[in-house]
Structure 1
Amino acid sequence: MQKDTNNNIDTILNSTIEGILLIKKGFIVNANDALVQILEYNSKDELIGNLATGVLIPSTTQKFLEFNKHLFQEVTLVSNSGDLIPAIIKISDIELSKKSYKIVSIIDLREIKQNENLLFRQSKLASLGEMISMIAHQWRQPLNSVASIMAKLKFKSKKNNAIKSEDLANEIKSIQNYLKYMSKTIDDFANFFKDDKQKEYIDIVKTTQSAKKLIEPSLKAANIQINIHEIQIQKIYTYKNEYIQILLNLLNNSIDAIIEKNIKNGKIDINFIKSENYLRIKISDNAGGIPKDIINRVFEPYFSTKHDKNGTGLGLYMCKVILEKHFNGTIDVKQIKNGVCFSMDIKI
């Protein structure tokens, strides 16, 4: 009878595609074939009798991951060869033959993590392209000014055969100022886009204003006004560069939509709403909105409304991933009068 019961349990455990551990008082009493394969053992007999913590290493602080709209705890598995495997688990209590056990369902995240890293790299390249475009905007006017000064000096030199030292000094000073501005632009972008992943205390309103300065040439060229509605709020301990990356992505989307729809007086409003545990940042525009049939898909990877303009479809997806992973936050979008409003919540 006991043998039949064990056979039935094995059949049930092996009917799932995820790895399964059966644990009693911290020790492994059974495992399915899927887990044996994940951990690279020859048979489950090599696992049975060992402490579960020998193959399951919980993180130092409990971390949870959303997968198929359910929350699971993140852990690390240790394979037979000593390799570390990212995974998520769900633990439940179960009673078999009047005995209490813990049953642990395990999903191997290696393939998912590899795909996620690929998306991050692709998003990084897309961000680099946007950064180069913004630097080009910032540099165009000073380069034109320098070219104009050089042409003027050349003309004066040919006409008078001599240039007054005072005029030359003034023109050189102007060129130096333009070069300093261009150099500062490079420093600003280098600071904002470097991948340092360091948390720091930031003034969220001032950081938002700094991000706005990076895209001012694009705003002026398209006659778009950004209104930042300031509030008094304590500094937040978070990732400054990643916040700016998210913000620039949302702002550039609104700018593109305003330009594409030929809105004469484009407007983007940024509002801050503070609650006890979260700061909500609302970014709304008057670009006409997103069609109802696709608005719920804008956070999907590779989904883009800008294919004609080389949209990658990764920008909003990466905003969502970064907010969830590094800010314990969320992002959503809804239609408003004459446009859309993106709301992101950051835990404080």
Structure 2
Amino acid sequence: MAALFNKHIVVSYVVLLIVIFFLGSALILAFNISLSSSLNEIEGQRRNQEVKNLICQDIIMNLNKLENSFFRIVVMTSEQAIDSEFNNYGTYLRNIGEDLILLKEGGIYNQQILLNLEDIDNYNREVPFVATDTETVPFEFIEIAPKLVLAEDIAIKLKKLISGRNKLKSNTRAFADIRKSIFTHVKHAPPLFLRMHENANAIFYESQMQFEEIDNLVIKTKKKYFLAEILIVSIIMALFIIISIIIIRNILKILLKQKKTQEKMAAEEKKLSTIMNSVQAGIVLIDEKTHTFIDVNPKAAEMFGASKENIIGKDCHQHICPVNGGICAISDLKQQVHNAERVIARNNGSKKDVLKSATKVNIAGKNIIVETFVDITEVKQAEGKIKQKSLELEKQFEKSEKQRKAGMVILGDLNKATKKLKVEISERKLAEKSLQDSEEKLRTLNIKLKEKVVLEVAKSREKDRVMLVQSKQAAMGEMIGNIAHQWRQPLNDIGLYVQNIQDKYEYGELSEDALAQTVEKTMDKLEYMSQTIDDFRNFFRSDKNKKKFLLKDSIDKTLSLTEAGFKNNFIEINLYLQDNIYITGYPNEFSQAVLNILNNAKDILVERKIEGPQVKINLSRQEKNVILTVSDNAGGIDENIIDKIFEPYYTTKGKLTGTGLGLYISKTIIERNMMGSLTVRNIKDGAEFKIEFKTDL
């Protein structure tokens, strides 16, 4: 019950581990969706502010054109030129007024894109603009709109003065007065245009500042969500590590209890074997189909007059029930239990009378007949003597009438014979009682034997399952360490990016391009870390059905999950992988088998402190076979143990670092599940593991 309880705890923690993983993934996904939604909203504000900047630039450009047009009107003499330029002046005024209304009420802004190409017109693009507050009159409208009216009045008055000047050219005095009025009028224009430029530049500066605030808001939002996501991932990894430790502890407890149970079972089996060998009744096990002996105890061998080795494998009818012509009461007559007196044939040709009991049991899916018998030869001989004595007494009784004296003698003899008969009957009853006791003990022994065989089969299957789970958990622990190694460098890079942004900001060197590049590199690192989680999840997903997969992709995926451990120990990995090699099997189980071999190679290279450590992986097709070899330069495997490394629980790493299951599980996956072969041999500088499959044509 305690072992079963511990198994339920392990299963519960594994389920909890899966739930935490999926909840963490869902939470990270929700954070990404929320970030995307926030960024989309901010991006809308940014685009709107960018349009506002374009409108402000358009106002400044039209103000420049307006001022230039004003002073061109002053120096012009042709009426036609003055009218044309005055029309341009009015156009600039209208453009500025329309831009101010657009800033106040919102609408569609027509952006003109200059292509600077011959024979190709400039491109106009309509961009929507949303005013932030249509109820309140904006500052730019209050500051510039009245000055536009004043600029229009000045231009109208100037046009009238110029027209009058042209008409009075013949009147020198009047012409001079009008000219003086024009220059007096014109002197007031520069301050007006200057104030309008100042107002327009202030509006543009304010819009630009708002644009930068929005950019800063984007950075802060991304940073906030990034830190939250890092915190969630850290919590999930911490929970993974804690729960994995708990699972491993419970598995170790289960294994310890199983070991004690096995020792207890071995003691029980020894005790049962001792009882079977010491019981004074013959016990034999017979195959129901072939009717051959499977096992006999020493008493049965003694009754048959042959050794145990000479009896096993022979037809049972050579010794038991020879007179029945091969007809079995259990298998042929379908009786559940058969009790009868029988004659057994001994090896030397003699016979023995026995009292036999037979029944059928199922052991490991195989029907076996268990027969027990007790020697009753002496009882039969006693019965024969009694019958013979009875006949003699009858003859003597017939003569008693003829000779009284002789009858008296015979009567005396009869009394003696009767006493002897009573003694023989009493002995027979004792023998029968002993036989019944032996049969009861044999029946109990058969029941216990059957229960223990069934229990051992179940425990063997459970042991295989626990070993597979233990190997999975050991691989999971190794993979968590690999992910920690793989994340350390991206996290360091992201920290440097953030410090670099802070330094550039403090020294005033933070440009928009530099910021965009830093954000892009940071997102690349985060995407790499997210992909690591996806690879980790896919690696431990169970394969339910066989499928055709590319060996090179599976090997690359395995290396991506474990390469950090090799890099941290400065171990070089050389790949020689042939493309387009497919097999049918379980890709995740195959990856686990390769991972176990790679981890063993890494551990032995680190343990032996090999200079210039390296691992070579070679994948090729040779005729109809696919061959994958993984070799190292760690010095090879001791020839005294090389034949034992695939056995379960055999490890050279010690109990603290090795479970002894990795290579056993790899061999089980390759040979039992994927119908391939996994072998090992020593080469020049180290060891070479070889996986071989029949290729898919």
Superposed pair shares fold, TM > 0.5 = yes
Distance 2:479 2:360 in 1: 49
Q: CA-to-partner distance for each residue in 1:17-51, whole Å, 9 max, x for gaps?
A: 8xxxx99xx989689654179799xx99xxxxxxx
Q: What's 1:292 paired with?
A: 639
**In structure 2, what is the equivalent of residue 258 of structure 1?**
605
Aligned residues: 273
Give the unaligned 5+ runs of structure 2. 1-281, 296-326, 337-358, 371-453
Q: Which residue number in structure 1 is paired with residue 491 of structure 2?
A: 143
Q: What SS does structure 2 have at the residue aligned with 1:295?
A: coil
Query: 1:258·1:266 contact (CA, 8 Å) conserved in 2?
Result: yes
Out of 311, 314, 317, the residue aligned to residue 664 of structure 2 is 317
Local SS of the residue matching 2:669: helix
Q: CA deviation at 1:307?
A: 1.9
Letter in 1 for 2:521: S
Q: Gaps (5+ residues) in structure 1?
A: 1-7, 45-105
Superposition RMSD in Å: 3.7
CA distance in 2 between partners of 1:231 and 1:152 (Å): 43
State the distance in 1 between where 2:550 and 2:335 align: 53
Q: Aligned match of 1:226 in 573, 581, 587?
A: 573
Q: Which residue of 2 aligns with 1:53?
A: none
Can you list the C-alpha shifts for 1:269-297, whole angstroms capped at 9, x where unaligned?
22335456542222111011122222221
Matched, 1:182 2:509: no
Corresponding residue of 2:13: none
SS at match of 1:284: strand
Describe the SS at the equivalent of 1:296: coil
- For residues 28 and 138 of structure 1, what CA distance do their matches in structure 2 show? 72
**Following the alignment from structure 1 to structure 2, what is the Cα–Cα distance between the partners of residues 126 and 260?**
19
- Report the CA distance between 1:254 and its aligned residue: 0.8
8 Å Cα contact 1:209-1:228 kept in structure 2:
no
**Structure 2: distance between partners of 1:11 and 1:335:** 47
- The amino acid across from 1:111 in the alignment is K
Distance apart, 1:201 and its partner CA: 1.7
1:168 deviation in Å?
2.7
Paired with 2:283 and 2:637, the residues of 1 have a C-alpha distance of: 51
Are the counterparts in 1 of residues 676 and 694 from structure 2 also a CA contact under 8 Å? yes
TM-score, length-scaled by structure 1: 0.67
Which of 460, 463, 471 in structure 2 is aligned with 1:123? 471
Cα separation, 1, equivalents of 2:604 and 2:494: 33
Q: Is the 8 A contact 1:194 1:241 kept in 2?
A: yes
Does residue 268 in structure 1 map to residue 595 in structure 2?
Answer: no
Specify the alignment match of 1:326 in structure 2: 673
Amino acid in the other structure paired with 1:334 = R
- Once residues 554 and 520 of structure 2 are traced to their aligned partners in structure 1, the CA distance between those partners, rounded to angstroms, is 31
In structure 2, the residue matched to 1:35 is 362
C-alpha distance in 2 between matches for 1:37 and 1:141: 55
Q: Secondary structure at the match of 1:264?
A: coil
- SS of the residue 1:306 aligns to: coil
Is contact 1:38-1:108 (8 Å) kept? no
Which residue matches 1:166? Answer: 513
Which structure would you say has the larger Rg? Answer: 2
- 8 Å Cα contact 1:327-1:347 kept in structure 2: no
* Aligned with 1:235 (options 554, 570, 582): 582
Q: Which amino acid aligns with 2:476?
A: L
| 1:211 paired to 2:538 | no
The amino acid of 1:151's aligned partner reads: Q
- CA contact 2:577–2:620 (8 Å) conserved in 1: no
CA distance in 2, matches of 1:319, 1:206: 19
Asked if 1 retains the 8 angstrom alpha-carbon contact of 2:572 and 2:614, the reply is yes
Q: Which residue of 2 aligns with 1:280?
A: 627
CA offset at residue 113 of structure 1?
Answer: 1.0
SS at match of 1:254: helix
Cα deviation for residue 330 of structure 1 reads 2.1
1:107 Cα offset (Å): 11
Q: Structure 1 residues 278 and 107 mapped into 2: Cα distance closer, same or farther (>3 Å)?
A: farther
Distance 1:27 1:132 in 2: 62
**Mapped pair 1:337 → 2:684:** yes
- Change over 3 Å in CA distance of 1:37–1:321 after alignment to 2: closer
Taking the aligned partners of 1:173 and 1:278, their CA distance within structure 2 comes to 46
Quote the offset at 1:302 in angstroms: 1.3
Give the drift of 1:244: 1.0
The answer to which structure, 1 or 2, has the higher relative contact order (CA under 8 A, 6+ apart) is: 1
TM-score (normalizing by structure 2): 0.35
Percent same amino acid among aligned pairs? 34
What's the CA shift for 1:142?
0.1
Report the alpha carbon displacement of residue 310 of structure 1 after superposing the two structures with TM: 1.4
| Distance in 1 (alpha carbons) for counterparts of 2:333 and 2:496 | 78
> In the alignment, residue 191 of structure 1 is paired with which amino acid?
N
Say yes or no: does 1:197 pair with 2:197.
no
Q: What secondary structure is seen at the aligned counterpart in 1 of 2:651? A: coil
SS at match of 2:459: helix
Corresponding position of 1:307: 654
3-state secondary structure, aligned to 1:346: strand
Q: Deviations over 1:109-149 (max 9, x none)?
A: 42211110111111111011011111112111001111222
1:132 maps to 480
Q: Secondary structure at the match of 1:201?
A: strand
Cα distance in 2 between the residues matched to 1:27 and 1:191? 56
